[in-house]
Chain A
Amino acid sequence: GQSLEQPSEVTAVEGAIVQINCTYQTSGFYGLSWYQQHDGGAPTFLSYNALDGLEETGRFSSFLSRSDSYGYLLLQELQMKDSASYFCAVRGVGSARQLTFGSGTQLTVLP
């Protein structure tokens, strides 16, 4: 089976840096993805890590350690519009290599 753990809520102030952690247990692993979802909106892709290390895309970075079954999403220079839910998702298990999502972390950015 698969399980992913991430904090349910995180609060930070505008301009700050926040890190959202994700630990996973899977019987097969091909990569870790991150998605953002605003209230009432569709999930949108942020990043994908297949190999260990840091991937940077603008204000967002994502890190993966396969040996520790751990990853994180780093958001810098927080803006009010970053208030949303953030999901980590493991790609793997099964012939379809489908995504299994965590329960999400609700990020609240305060002024």
Chain B
Amino acid sequence: EAGVAQSPRYKIIEKRQSVAFWCNPISGHATLYWYQQILGQGPKLLIQFQNNGVVDDSQLPKDRFSAERLKGVDSTLKIQPAKLEDSAVYLCASSSPERTTYEQYFGPGTRLTVT
């Protein structure tokens, strides 16, 4: 089966600019996650979707970050305006509720550099 797809793979922007990331999860996976991974740290959950509804966005900086998952498949994560501290890898993951190991499948990520 095809894995989780993300684009772009790399993005360089200046602070105060806006940026958007796209994710296509594994077919049939109802749950989709966006994580932020700062260099040297573990992934930090930003938002979790179940189908097209938000399950948890408690760690999403809502003053500048937004995310949507239209039709319960693809998702986009937007940052507007970006700050220097937003430089990180943004990972998308998906999972199926049938897996008893609660395994999450990660995409390759988008490496964002804010200058």
**B108 contacts the other chain (CB 8 A):** yes
A46: nearest residue on chain B (CB-CB)? B103
How far apart sit A97 and B104, CA to CA, in the bound complex (Å)?
A: 13
Chain B interface mostly helix, strand, loop or mixed? Answer: loop
How far apart sit A89 and B4, CA to CA, in the bound complex (Å)?
A: 20
User: Chain A interface residue count: which class?
Assistant: 20 to 34
**A44 contacts the other chain (CB 8 A):** yes
A-B contact pairs, 29 of them (CB 8 A): A41-B108, A42-B4, A42-B91, A42-B106, A42-B107, A42-B109, A43-B43, A43-B106, A45-B104, A45-B105, A48-B101, A48-B102, A48-B103, A87-B42, A89-B42, A95-B55, A95-B56, A96-B50, A96-B55, A96-B56, A98-B45, A98-B48, A99-B45, A101-B42, A101-B43, A103-B40, A103-B41, A103-B42, A104-B41
State the B residues within 8 Å of A (CB): 4, 33, 40-45, 48, 50, 55-56, 58, 91, 93, 101-109
